[in-house]
Chain A
Amino acid sequence: QSALTQPRSVSGSPGQSVTISCTGTSSDVGGYSYVSWYQQHPGKTPKVMIYDVTKRPSAVPDRFSGSKSGNTASLTISGLQAEDEADYYCCSYAGSYTYVFGTGTQVTVL
């Protein structure tokens, strides 16, 4: 049950695109299509931004997109906006009804 690996921080200017990686193993990220991404502002509850690797809840802007290649999932934020500054976490199903979260990435809008 080791945490998925994410970069500690990423940054970009308004309007730019940033991509956050989430690296696991064939027992979690690589083995299932159940990866979600969460946005968490300070002091707030996590909010789901992407689920099932690529699906986006209706209330989430289409600037957010997800993908997966092998054991690595990715979240891309296109057209970065000030309100996107937050912590982001990935989460994957890891088999036998267990789940594992990523280490978290702080996104800074310059």
Chain B
Amino acid sequence: EVQLVESGGGSGQPGGSLRLSCAASGFTFSNYEMNWVRQAPGKGLEWVAYIRKGGDSIKYADSVKGRFTISRDNARNSLYLQMNSLRAEDTAFYYCARDGPPDVWGRGTLVTVSS
């Protein structure tokens, strides 16, 4: 079964950092581009970041550029999102998603930024 499982969410303070992880299984992870997508509570979906199969091409939404870093470890079938300089508006469910536009989604992990 194709599966994506996010972890690492929780509470963070403004200006702080959090690191999200996504464990992939059921498919050949290294063959797929990956994305992070977020959804603020009660709001719509927002694309956050993209990483190519080998990690050689990376893109970010303007809203997170310079603060978030996407990375992957194909040997560990894992995707990561390092979130620095957190802001209140980063509060959202963060989804790990395969390919683009995404065809498989994880269940999401909630990040809450509050003082």
Interface of A toward B, CB cutoff 8 Å: 1, 3, 34-36, 38, 45-48, 51, 57, 89, 91-93, 96-104
B-chain residues with CB within 8 Å of residue A3 when the two chains form the complex:
44, 46
Q: Chain A residues with Cβ under 8 A from B100's Cβ?
A: 34, 93, 97, 99
Return the CB mask of B50-82 against A: 1 if under 8 Å, else 0. Answer: 101000011101100000000000000000000
The answer to whether A46 touches B59, judged by C-beta atoms less than 8 angstroms apart, is no
Q: For the complex, count residues of B whose C-beta is within 8 A of A.
A: 23
Q: Which residues in B have their C-beta under 8 angstroms from that of A38?
A: 45
- State whether B106 touches A98 (Cβ < 8 A): no
Partner of A46 from B33, B50, B52, B105 at Cβ < 8 Å: B105
Q: Determine the distance from Cα of A50 to Cα of B37 in the docked complex, in whole angstroms.
A: 18
What are 11 A-B residue pairs whose CB atoms fall within 8 Å in the complex? A35-B101, A36-B101, A38-B45, A45-B105, A46-B45, A51-B101, A91-B101, A98-B59, A99-B101, A101-B47, A102-B44
**Main secondary structure on A side of the interface with B:** strand
Determine the chain A residues whose CB is within 8 A of the CB of B112 once the complex forms.
Answer: none
Asked whether any CB of chain A lies closer than 8 Å to the CB of B19, the reply is no
Instruction: Tell me whether A101 and B50 are in contact (CB under 8 A).
Output: no
Are B47 and A98 in contact, CB atoms less than 8 angstroms apart? yes
Cα distance, A35 to B100, chains bound together (Å): 9
